[in-house]
Structure 1
């Protein structure tokens, strides 16, 4: 027992020294953590515009668009980050394109916008594939994971596809939703929808008559044209109508303008 006392007394200063060393290391570690950061560099408003080295260039080199096979190998978090990178790049390109048009200058390499949009479309397709696979595995083979849609009238009386969403109050008690997005059933809505259908019908008849006039002129110039192929190009006409125009285009010939034009006679007040 007498021999163990000096050893116990010597161990206490060692423990105190270790504690003091740990306490001295903590502020140093905190200083190092404050000096090292992983946040993105801050460029201000310049990050929303193209790089200064590309200003005034005739051509800007850029890579190809992201392919679907490459995006399938990435995780959901990587796709989420890549989506915002592409979204920011697209907005920057649109801003520079508008600025170049305002200054009457040439926008270098406009195909960059197409590449970014193609990448975003491929990324969205990959996300939809994963969402559909998850719903088919967890819910049912018929589930797609997309929001359900219904075909109903909007506030102006037009029939449109509306995507359904969950609401806390039911439809018959949600008066705000019925007044803002519910189907319109007033007299003003009926009058508007009547005029709207009339306008659509006039536009349809106008373009259809113009296309028929073009086909009559075509058969007049080329009597041996293939009517079946032309009918496939114009599905708005009923079956057999294009063949009827080919066989009877002479009946629809317009009279010459010189014969129907009224002769302009000089008025008596005009001095000749």
Structure 2
């Protein structure tokens, strides 16, 4: 039941524009979280720079939420990949990807927290703070 509801909700949470930000494949559903062992002739995964707070401040509230879910999916995939390599008693290639995702997620929370201060209504501020703390 939970799996079906997650499969139904995932496409709505990650539209095509946000999916382009991910390094994972374009599959939909829970199967995209499954990590397959790399082929022997495969290149090492590459990653770009992490999201800077200044870049994130330019994004809309909705774009930040889309990016959050893309990073959350990527973090989950990286954790699964790390567990796979640990099980094979190998070292995970390009470990810096984990730190970049973690930093980007922390910076999104920072930017959202900064935006809370813009609201004059203390009830809205409390609700937004609770929402961000739950992320």
Question: What aligned pairs does 1:224-263 form with structure 2 within 5 A after superposition?
Answer: none
The structure with the larger Rg is: 1
CA RMSD, aligned part only?
3.0
Structure 1: how far apart are the matches of 2:52 and 2:96?
16
Does residue 50 of structure 2 align to residue 65 of structure 1? Answer: yes
Instruction: Point out which structure has higher relative CO (alpha carbons under 8 A, 6+ apart).
Output: 2
Between Structure 1 and Structure 2, which shows a larger proportion of helix residues? Answer: 2
Does residue 97 of structure 2 align to residue 112 of structure 1? Answer: yes
Does residue 66 of structure 2 align to residue 100 of structure 1? Answer: no
The offset of 1:51, in angstroms, is 7.1
The offset of 1:106, in angstroms, is 2.4
Counting matched residue pairs gives: 105
The offset of 1:104, in angstroms, is 1.4
Tell me the TM-score normalized by structure 1. Answer: 0.34
Q: Deviations over 1:238-262 (max 9, x none)?
A: xxxxxxxxxxxxxxxxxxxxxxxxx
Question: What aligned pairs does 1:30-179 form with structure 2 within 5 A after superposition?
Answer: 42-43=27-28, 45-50=30-35, 55-56=39-40, 59-134=44-119, 137-139=120-122, 145=126, 146=129
The offset of 1:46, in angstroms, is 4.1
Unaligned runs of at least 5 residues, structure 1: 1-37, 148-272
Does the aligned pair in 2 maintain the 1:65–1:116 contact within 8 Å? yes
The offset of 1:74, in angstroms, is 0.6
The offset of 1:131, in angstroms, is 1.1
Q: Deviations over 1:171-224 (max 9, x none)?
A: xxxxxxxxxxxxxxxxxxxxxxxxxxxxxxxxxxxxxxxxxxxxxxxxxxxxxx
Structure 2: how far apart are the matches of 1:51 and 1:43?
16
Unaligned runs of at least 5 residues, structure 2: 1-14, 20-25, 131-135
